[in-house]
Structure 1
C-alpha cells in the first residue's frame, strides 16, 4: 500500500471503529500482515502453505487501493480472521467456520469466482492419495 494509505490506516487505529467484527481498533497493514503469517505457524503444514499464499496474494492485490472504505473493510475483515485463529501452539485446532449467507449474497461475481477457485484449490490440497476416485480413473 502506498505511504498515504499506511498513514490512513494508522490514523484509524487511534479511534475504535463501529464494526461488529473488529474488536477495538484496526492494526496497520504491515503489522496485521505479519501477525497473520505468525498465526499461520500454528496450523498444519498444508493449511499453513495455503493460508500464507492466500494472505500474500490478497495483500499484494490491495496494495494500490485508494478508497478509504475499501481499505478499512479489507483490514477489518483480515483482523476478524486473525481474532478467530488459535492463540499459540497449544491452542485448539483451527477448523474454520461456515460462510455467513448474508456475506455470500453481498459478494460480486468476481468474488464468487474466487471463492469457487479457492474451494477447488482446497479440495486438491486435502485429497488423499488413496482416494478411490483417483485409482478408478488411472486404471482405464
Structure 2
C-alpha cells in the first residue's frame, strides 16, 4: 500500500469513528472521542506491522459500534460495547494494560457518579 493510500485509509477510519461516536450518550462520546484522538496520535509514527494491527482493530471497533448504535439494536439489547476476551491480556504490554485499566476506571467512575447523584427535591 502506498503512503498516500495509507494516509487516506487512516483519515477515513478516523472520521468514521467520530461519526459513529455521535450516537453515543454524551459522556461516552466525550470519553470515546478523547481516547480515539489520543490513540491515533500515539500511533502516528508506528512501524508498518503495528499500523496494520492498529487499523484492523479500530476498523473492527467502528463496525461493532455502528451495528450496536442502530435504533433497532438499541431497543432490543440496550447495551453498548462488548466484553473483551481475557486471553488478550496475555498479548498486551504493561503499558497497554495500564491504559486499559485507566479507561475502565474512567468509564466506571462516570457510571458510579450517575448512579449516586442525589435526587432533586420538588
Please, what TM-score do these two structures have when normalized by structure 1? 0.70
Q: Which residue of 1 aligns with 2:38?
A: 57
Distance, in Å, in 2 between the alignment partners of 1:29 and 1:7 is 10
Q: Which residue of 1 aligns with 2:52?
A: 72
Q: What is the Cα deviation at residue 102 of structure 1? A: 2.4
Moved segments of 4+, more than 6 Å: none
Q: Which residue of 2 aligns with 1:9?
A: 6
Q: Which consecutive unaligned segments of at least 5 residues does structure 2 have? A: 118-122
Q: Structure 1 residues 101-110 or 30-39, which shifts more?
A: 101-110
Structure with the higher fraction of residues in helix conformation: 2
Deviations 1:55-82 (A, max 9, x none): 00101111122x1110000000000001
Q: What is the Cα deviation at residue 130 of structure 1? A: 5.6
Are the aligned partners of 2:65 and 2:80 in contact in 1 as well (CA < 8 Å)? Answer: no
Which of the pair has more CA radius of gyration? 1
Q: 3-state SS of the aligned residue for 1:35?
A: helix
Distance, in Å, in 1 between the alignment partners of 2:72 and 2:99 is 30
1:115 corresponds, among 85, 100, 103, to 100
Q: Which residue of 1 aligns with 2:71?
A: 90
Distance, in Å, in 1 between the alignment partners of 2:115 and 2:62 is 33
Aligned positions, number:
113
Please, what TM-score do these two structures have when normalized by structure 2? 0.79
Are the aligned partners of 1:6 and 1:29 in contact in 2 as well (CA < 8 Å)? Answer: no
Aligned alpha-carbon RMSD (Å) = 2.6
2:11 corresponds, among 30, 51, 56, to 30
CA distance change for structure 1 residues 6 and 59 in 2, over 3 Å: closer, same or farther? farther
